[in-house]
Amino acid sequence: MTSYLLIANPASGSGRGCHRADLLANSLPDSCQVEVVETKCRGSAAEIAADRGSDVDRVIAVGGDGTLNEILSGLMARGLPSKARPALGFLPSGTGNAATRAFGFSSDPILVARSLPTAPVRPVDVGVVTHAGGERPFLLWLGAGFDAVLIAALHASRTGRMGVTGLLRKLPEVLGALARYQAPDIEVEVDGTEFGVACSMILPNVAKIPFGGTVAETADPFDGLLDIVAIPRGSKLRLTQLGLSLLVSSLHRARGVRHSLGTRIGLRSEGDVPFQLDGEPVGKLPVDVRLERGAVRLLLT
């Protein structure tokens, strides 16, 4: 008998997160032991995963990328080895769903229930960030500088989807926030060696991120390496051109952008530089990032 813990964000899916979790639970085989737990507030998904995750075979996040990130945080907080952690699955029900683009997760509860018993399970790399507030992992990407400013602007009084339509809807607020940002220099160190200075940094663990963008098509969450993309200082026109490169091709191939691979990255700044993880505003630099290879077993449904 396979045991499942479904952690559902009731606010996700336009308030249908728990309904979608119930659909998934009721469609799983009768031989499965299934419990659905509803989150109560920001951070409770991580607490539930930390407290209850080791009691089951599989934990399924039902919500958006933020819910998935919280549950990942909870599963890793116990410090257990990968094989001792429950396998992690995802039923996308949020506003951004970058993980859906990155891993191809189905958003149909019935189809997910049918595929879960035989779904491939792959150990996936996870980035772990040490910052002033403690440690927090990310599955998708870290952004510091302009990327984090954009994410924070989208999160302010957020309603509706955070994809391209959400970006267009909040374009005045986003452009205003980007225009006000002073872009202090970010000093970058990769695996103990100085990598130079950038005005913005993106560390993608996956090739695809929200808004149809590709930071680095080489980014692979199963290769044991983290991609490092450093955006140089330039005019506003040049930064706009780089933003278009993100949408129409791959940012790391744009002129002047520096790209590398590593497992330990340090980001420092004398100025006020925000950073975000998996589309969630978290804090300010400095941060130290390490990649934990195969840290979590991911259910690919």
Q: Is the pLDDT of residue 219 over 80?
A: yes
* pLDDT computed for residue 178 by the predictor: 82
* pLDDT computed for residue 96 by the predictor: 65
Q: Is the pLDDT of residue 270 over 90?
A: yes
Q: Is 136 in a helix, a strand, or coil?
A: strand
Does any domain span residue 229? yes
Does any domain span residue 272? yes
- Final residue in a domain of this structure, among 68, 86, 119: 119
Please indicate, yes or no, whether residues 99 and 141 belong to a single structural domain of this protein: no
Please indicate, yes or no, whether residues 35 and 91 belong to a single structural domain of this protein: yes
Rounded to a whole number of angstroms, the distance between the first and last alpha carbons of the chain is: 19
Please indicate, yes or no, whether residues 260 and 200 belong to a single structural domain of this protein: yes
CATH of the domain at 28: 3.40.50.10330
CATH of the domain at 137: 2.60.200.40
Q: What is the pTM of this model?
A: 0.91
Please indicate, yes or no, whether residues 21 and 155 belong to a single structural domain of this protein: no
41 to each of 20, 38, 47, 54, 141, how far by Cα in Å?
Answer: 18, 9, 10, 22, 24
Tokens standing for 297? 């077993």
Most confident of 179-183, 185-189, 208-212: 185-189
Does any domain span residue 299? no
Residue numbers of the domain that contains 89: 3-119
Does any domain span residue 124? no
Does any domain span residue 300? no
Q: Which of 59-73, 150-164, 233-247 has the least mean pLDDT?
A: 233-247
Q: What is the DSSP letter of 89?
A: E
Tokens standing for 36? 């659905």
Please indicate, yes or no, whether residues 45 and 146 belong to a single structural domain of this protein: no
- As a whole number, mean pLDDT of residues 226-253 equals 70
- Final residue in a domain of this structure, among 69, 84, 119: 119
Calpha distance 299→95 (Å, rounded): 21
Calpha distance 259→227 (Å, rounded): 7
- Final residue in a domain of this structure, among 119, 138, 153: 119
% of the chain exceeding 90 in pLDDT: 69
* pLDDT computed for residue 165 by the predictor: 56
pLDDT interval class at 234 (50, 70, 90) = confident
Please indicate, yes or no, whether residues 92 and 157 belong to a single structural domain of this protein: no
49: CB partners within 8 A, 6+ apart: 7, 59, 70, 71, 72, 73, 74, 75, 77
Please indicate, yes or no, whether residues 266 and 136 belong to a single structural domain of this protein: yes
Please indicate, yes or no, whether residues 106 and 203 belong to a single structural domain of this protein: no
Please indicate, yes or no, whether residues 104 and 242 belong to a single structural domain of this protein: no
pLDDT interval class at 241 (50, 70, 90) = low
Does any domain span residue 284? yes
Question: Which residue reads 């199963």 in tokens?
Answer: 222
pLDDT interval class at 252 (50, 70, 90) = confident
Q: Is the pLDDT of residue 106 over 90?
A: yes
Mean pLDDT, the chain, rounded, equals 89
Q: Is the pLDDT of residue 242 over 70?
A: no
Q: Which of 96-100, 159-163, 186-190 has the least mean pLDDT?
A: 159-163
Please indicate, yes or no, whether residues 287 and 155 belong to a single structural domain of this protein: yes
Q: Is the pLDDT of residue 83 over 80?
A: yes
pLDDT interval class at 212 (50, 70, 90) = low
Q: Is the pLDDT of residue 81 over 70?
A: yes
- As a whole number, mean pLDDT of residues 48-70 equals 96
Please indicate, yes or no, whether residues 161 and 289 belong to a single structural domain of this protein: yes
Does any domain span residue 169? yes
Q: Is the pLDDT of residue 108 over 90?
A: yes
How many domains in the chain? 2
Please indicate, yes or no, whether residues 114 and 19 belong to a single structural domain of this protein: yes
**Phi, psi dihedrals of residue 170, rounded to the nearest 5°:** -105, 20
- List, for residues 130-180, the tens digit of each pLDDT value: 999 999 999 999 999 998 998 898 887 555 455 555 556 667 787 788 888
Between 247 and 4, where is the model more confident?
A: 4
Calpha distance 243→248 (Å, rounded): 9
- Assess contact for 191 and 264: CB atoms under 8 A: yes
Does any domain span residue 156? yes
